[in-house]
Structure 1
Amino acid sequence: MPGPAPRSSEEQVSHGHGDRLIAALSRETWMPLAATATGSIATTAVALALPAALAAAVNAVVTGRGALTATAYLALLLAGAALAEVATGITSTTATASAIGTLRLRVAGHLLSADVSGATRFSTGELVNRLVSNTATAGSAPVTLLGTITGVAASAGAVVALFAVDPRAGLAFLAGTPVLIVVLRVFVSRVSGLYDEYQSAQGRLAARLTETLAGIRTVRAAGTANREIDRVLRPLADLSSTGHALWRAQSRTVWQIMLLMPLVEILVLAVAGLGVAEGRLTPGALVAVAGYAALGLTFVEQIDPLLGLAYGRSAAVRVLEVLALPVLPAGRRRLPDGPGALSFRGVTVTRGDTRVLDDIDLEIPAGALTAVVGRSGAGKTTLAMLAGRLTEPDHGRVLLDGRRLSDLDPGCLRDAVAYAFERPALLGGDIASAIAYGTARTTREAVRAAARAAEVDDVVSRLPLGYDTPAAGAPLSGGEIQRLGLARALLRRARLTILDDATSGLDTVTEAQVTRTLVEGMRGRTRLVVAHRPATAARADLVIWLEAGRVRGRGTHRELWRHRDYRDLFAPDALDSRGEPHRGEPAGVASRQESSCPR
């Protein structure tokens, strides 16, 4: 879709940018908008012709000449007005739906192409609110703007027609309208800022609610439901305050308008009435003056569309803040045949004021199992994301088989790299589709073989529908879901497989079985594993030890075990250099905590 080029997420997004987004939407949906404009123009033309037709009918009845013709013409105009209204309603609904759909597709596509680390700037609830609610409001703006333009055009045409019928009545009309225009302008200017605050509070409320619902088990287990309710509803105070401010602004404006509009109409009708009394105007002309005066004042009715536009501009700004997330530019080169050698050359990644990775130089051997270890915040996950280009380094290069990842065609890169995550999402429909997700062509037997390798085939087989069980409602534990994610990575048979803490939810026995698959079943393919347990590191061909974004050490687990700081990484697991438990007190025994409740 044409529109503003993506900006960095730090750049300030203003209402001017929102206006450009609405203009781009208008260009994208020009066909249904053109149909809506045609219907609106027809409706406006009929509305402008009606007072004149009514005046002609009145004069014809008074004079007794041509009454039938004038009445028939009036009836034809009324029928035309009804048809134009119906057609405009249909086309405007179509145009609005088209604009909303176009904007949502653009936002969704942008998010799926964005740097993964940048998307974490927004919570899931905030993104959902902007993708669903804000796109609907911003997508309605082009049709609202068109309605406002045609409404103002109808008012302007009515004023011209009023001058044509009686210039004195036209001058009387103009004398009373400036005050109305000032009132409207002040109102719209004030509510624009209030709408920004209102939508911001709405977004915070949606984000907190989504977070709480996602962690409902933790809330129930901790007994903090009331505390969470208070936290989720905290933005309601801002929402209520802003909402009341909007209502106060609207109420002040409404009574002013309701007072001024009748005064203008009375002034115009008084001038026209004097014209009839003086013989300057016919009775029909008085009817026409009344009709055009009422139609001329319909610009006041544009207050609702103007509010809609203010709301749409505010929503467009919130949508653009998502579209401002940096996108990873797509390369075009293909990946040459190779064993899967991974290289990091002078790689630096900065998040805010923190260097997550600082000038990293690494060579991951082709076909080897490499474990990445380190304390929380050392940069392990960032390194894993860089390896498959889910994020981009600020400086330096990442290469696979000598080819820079940023130069590669995205489809080619995805075929070469497989991921398994700590909390995998089961997408695709049923269990079989969730395992095969991202694999173009596969068989049910291949899916089952991958599940067996990930030690999850027996779990799936016990489900009522087996591999046809809907993934969304399957009664699976966190460790079982992790194993399904592992099966998905194993099925890909990629030259580089990356496991980002993908075995953290497994029990010791299952992890040992899965690790055996990684060591033996995937021999010859490059594996990069973010590890927290010494048993995994002990079986790796190479261990990369990260500390504060730098490489503290590299070598085998046995070699690094000589360092006390390295051994402390795995406390309280306390395994020796072979990954075997030390003798002594059992690891992981927690001390009893005092409780105020009886046991």
Structure 2
Amino acid sequence: MRAGDRLVVETVRRGGPWPGVLAVTTLAGAAGELALPYVMGRAVDALVTAQPGAVSWLIGCAGVTAVVALCESFGVWARGASGAHAAARLRRGILRHVLGVGQAMTRRFPAGELVTRAGLNAEETARAPEAVAGTLGLLVPTLGALVALTLIDPLLTLALGVGLVLILLVLRSFLRVTTTMAGDYQQVQGEIAARLLDALEGARTIASAGTGAEEARRILGPLPRLRAHGLRMWRANATAGVQAGLVVPLLEVAVLAVGGFLLAAGELTVGELYAAARYAVLGAALSTSLGYLGGLARARSAAGRLADVLAVPSGPHGGRALPAGSGTVEFRGVSAPGLSVGDLVIPGGTVTAVVGRSGSGKSLLSALAARLAEPDRGTVLLDGVPLAELDRAALRRAVSCAFERPVLVGDTIGEAIGLGLDDDSGVPAAARAARADTFIRRLPDGYATSLALTPLSGGERQRIGLARAFARGERLLVLDDATSSLDTITERQVGRALTAESHGRTRLVVAHRLATAARADLVVWLEDGVVRAQGPHHELWADPCYRAVFGVEES
């Protein structure tokens, strides 16, 4: 069984109470539809022969009809509730996995693709319970009709069975073809979403270049392919509908013809012939399952896209806690795509600057230290414990990060700084260390100011991101170009705070400015993805190639 099909089965199985309610209402409604021809047939016979029980049979017809209508009403409600519950569960699972995997996920899938899969594709997969229940709801009357016709006369069953085989062949081909077509359609949807999200992120650049029309054409470039896939699905649905539709009247005529001969031979009553005709209609109703099968096909292809996301492995976490220590980071034989660290020790409690030209692997080294990326070979340890063996909560308490473009999460400024903290009493002190406290207190509600309604400059966002990092990270603080948007004076103030206020933790700083490297206790110099040298800045400064990293040429 494919991963997508397993996810469809899991969605149906773990859909909470609603798939059960949907199944009960569907089966009860199907049972009512099966019972109705029999009850109506008995009523017809009672009226024709003037039997005294005719009124009772007519009341029974009304009762069965009411049950069918009630089941249909509850079924509509259950279908909506089932889809909403399943979609919410799928979205939560996808989001947790995407956020848990981190950079490995965004390297594999564009952001627009992930949004499409977690949104639209999750919703399509969530319709699987409805599609399965609807298909079974049509299958039950079909099987019941075969049994009922067998009880009336086996020749009627044979006539219905031949037609049903033809209908099943049509439905099987439709499901297989439509699943492939739906996958192609959803793939193009994701491609358009990825292009749109890229354009939105670069909206200022596009506006300044005056290339809005060209960018719109680029985003909508896949539309002809989307239209072609949509037309293919429509044609497949129409073709299957016509094929099944041609079989249905022939099937009903065949059952009525056989029933007519049996009536003429005195082997059927008028009521039994009427019931046989109704059962033929119920049996042929399987041809109307194209809509449900189309939904199931879309759910299968969408589930396959979700399964691709879930297949991206997240780094395993152990259950170990950190022993007492000062935040010593060790790289033992570590390498990753584009970076070879080898053996490297960053002493606890020190400030270590990582320098190098663009593309030398500085951000990747910092990501490995914070376990935001996994090495291909080797082990990264914090105070003697491999990062992969640490409990997830212990790891995130011990290590905090700040980035060049921080994403601020939370309803207020204070929540953005204290993200994930049980005690936010240290938020003001962290903001002061990041030189953010002064401008935050000038806001209308200070730390309680709404984040969504507060326009922030790039430097202010970076300072809030720095404050968020300062508020956490009991052992290791990783700053990946996190001061690039600060003015010179603020950068110096933050740099002094970073070097002076260690609070017993190691600080690993990706540095582009000479002053940052000069203030560090240790410098790790990367060149072409390899650690070229490490040592104090004043010792490395004797190498002209090192000076060239900062744009200082020989006179």
> SS state of the match for residue 408, structure 2?
coil
2:384 maps to which residue? 402
Deviation of 1:264 (Å): 1.9
1:3 maps to which residue? none
Q: 1:41-440 residue pairs with structure 2 within 5 A?
A: 41-65=27-51, 66-350=53-337, 356-440=338-422
Deviation of 1:260 (Å): 2.5
Which runs of 5 or more structure 1 residues have no equivalent in the other structure?
Answer: 1-14, 351-355, 577-581, 583-599
> SS state of the match for residue 362, structure 1?
strand
**In 1, Cα distance between the equivalents of 2:247 and 2:137?**
23
Deviation of 1:204 (Å): 0.7
Deviation of 1:181 (Å): 2.7
> SS state of the match for residue 395, structure 2?
helix
Q: 1:448-463 residue pairs with structure 2 within 5 A?
A: 448-463=428-443
With normalisation by structure 1, the TM-score equals 0.88
Tell whether 2:460 aligns with 1:474: no
Tell whether 2:21 aligns with 1:35: yes
Deviation of 1:359 (Å): 4.5
Between 1:81-90 and 1:43-52, the stretch displaced more is 81-90
**In 2, Cα distance between the equivalents of 1:30 and 1:157?**
28
CA contact (8 A) 2:16 2:85 kept: no
Change (3 A) 1:173 1:454: same
Change (3 A) 1:237 1:402: same
Q: Which amino acid aligns with 2:123?
A: A
The Cα offsets for residues 50-104 of structure 1, whole Å up to 9 and x where unpaired, read as 0011111111111111211111111111122122223333334333333222222
**In 2, Cα distance between the equivalents of 1:27 and 1:261?**
33
Which of 538, 549, 554 in structure 2 is aligned with 1:558?
Answer: 538
Between 1:165-174 and 1:549-558, the stretch displaced more is 165-174
Between 1:249-258 and 1:389-398, the stretch displaced more is 249-258
CA contact (8 A) 2:396 2:473 kept: no
Change (3 A) 1:242 1:303: same
Deviation of 1:296 (Å): 0.2
> SS state of the match for residue 2, structure 2?
helix
Q: 1:513-592 residue pairs with structure 2 within 5 A?
A: 513-522=493-502, 524-571=504-551, 574=552
Q: Which amino acid aligns with 1:33?
A: P
Q: Which amino acid aligns with 2:166?
A: V
**In 2, Cα distance between the equivalents of 1:497 and 1:182?**
63
CA contact (8 A) 1:115 1:326 kept: no
Percent identity over paired residues: 46
CA contact (8 A) 2:346 2:352 kept: yes
**In 1, Cα distance between the equivalents of 2:182 and 2:446?**
50
Q: Which amino acid aligns with 1:561?
A: W
CA contact (8 A) 1:115 1:328 kept: no
Deviation of 1:502 (Å): 0.3
With normalisation by structure 2, the TM-score equals 0.95
> SS state of the match for residue 473, structure 1?
coil
**In 2, Cα distance between the equivalents of 1:264 and 1:390?**
63
Which runs of 5 or more structure 2 residues have no equivalent in the other structure?
Answer: none
Tell whether 2:427 aligns with 1:447: yes
CA contact (8 A) 1:534 1:575 kept: no
Q: Which amino acid aligns with 1:58?
A: V
> SS state of the match for residue 471, structure 1?
coil
Q: Which amino acid aligns with 1:320?
A: A
Deviation of 1:544 (Å): 0.5
CA contact (8 A) 2:27 2:140 kept: no
Deviation of 1:315 (Å): 0.6
Q: Which amino acid aligns with 2:363?
A: T
CA contact (8 A) 2:402 2:469 kept: yes
Deviation of 1:288 (Å): 0.7
**In 2, Cα distance between the equivalents of 1:331 and 1:151?**
49
Tell whether 2:8 aligns with 1:22: yes
CA contact (8 A) 1:191 1:246 kept: yes
The Cα offsets for residues 193-244 of structure 1, whole Å up to 9 and x where unpaired, read as 1111101001111111122122222221222211211111112121111111
Change (3 A) 1:374 1:75: same
Q: Which amino acid aligns with 1:402?
A: G
Q: Which amino acid aligns with 2:114?
A: L
1:7 maps to which residue? none
**In 1, Cα distance between the equivalents of 2:535 and 2:504?**
19
**In 2, Cα distance between the equivalents of 1:115 and 1:465?**
33
The Cα offsets for residues 428-449 of structure 1, whole Å up to 9 and x where unpaired, read as 2100111111222022xx4233
**In 1, Cα distance between the equivalents of 2:473 and 2:370?**
15
The Cα offsets for residues 452-482 of structure 1, whole Å up to 9 and x where unpaired, read as 2212223223333332222123211112101
Q: Which amino acid aligns with 2:350?
A: A
CA contact (8 A) 2:245 2:287 kept: no
**In 1, Cα distance between the equivalents of 2:26 and 2:151?**
23
Between 1:29-38 and 1:99-108, the stretch displaced more is 29-38
Deviation of 1:575 (Å): 9.5
Q: Which amino acid aligns with 1:440?
A: D
Q: Which amino acid aligns with 2:352?
A: T
Q: Which amino acid aligns with 1:34?
A: G
Change (3 A) 1:543 1:155: same
CA contact (8 A) 1:542 1:555 kept: yes
**In 2, Cα distance between the equivalents of 1:149 and 1:254?**
19
**In 1, Cα distance between the equivalents of 2:522 and 2:16?**
59
Which of 436, 452, 464 in structure 2 is aligned with 1:484?
Answer: 464
Between 1:424-433 and 1:514-523, the stretch displaced more is 514-523
The Cα offsets for residues 370-394 of structure 1, whole Å up to 9 and x where unpaired, read as 1001122211111111112122212
